[in-house]
Amino acid sequence: MLRTFVPQVCFQEVPQEISLGFLCTGCQIGCRGCHSPQLWDENKGEPLTLLTFSKWLVQYQGLITCVVFFGGEWEEVLLIQLLKEAKLQGLKTCLYTGRNDVSMSLKAQLTYLKTGPYIDTLGGLETPNTNQRFIELSTGQLLNAHFLKE
């Protein structure tokens, strides 16, 4: 079962997209310095089913261009179903994961992928020395430059 908090509209997490962001609970990576440790508890949040996800998409239809999941890759079968539904609705898809890679089955449903654990000494996507990578999968283009602070 995939559990999430109420989704929020996001403007910065996916370059040039207005995204509906789903914060998935149950993250087992536990990065030191994590900005969202509340996501570690798998019992927090509400169950996200295909039906409830579809209702969220209807509610935000015409207002968003992308759906982004922060985690959830540990429930790959359900996550793939959700991503397929988003694509059927004409939306781009994105996953933020602390893992260094995800399966090809999951990548096949994604427009964008952010990989890599947060390492305090290297910083996040907004720092030039980060270990994290934000990739547009169809082109393989690294989009980290969109996040750098001037």
pLDDT number for residue 37 = 67
Lookup: tokens for 115: 């990989």
Mean pLDDT, all residues of the chain: 93
Q: 65-101 burial, b for 16+ CB within 10 Å, e for fewer?
A: ebbbbbbbbbbeebbbbbbebbeeeebbbbbbbbeee
Are 98 and 27 contacting, i.e. CB atoms less than 8 angstroms apart? yes
pLDDT number for residue 30 = 76
Q: Containing domain of residue 124, as a range?
A: 3-147
Number of domains in the chain: 1
- CATH code, 76: 3.20.20.70
Low-confidence ranges of the chain (pLDDT < 50): none
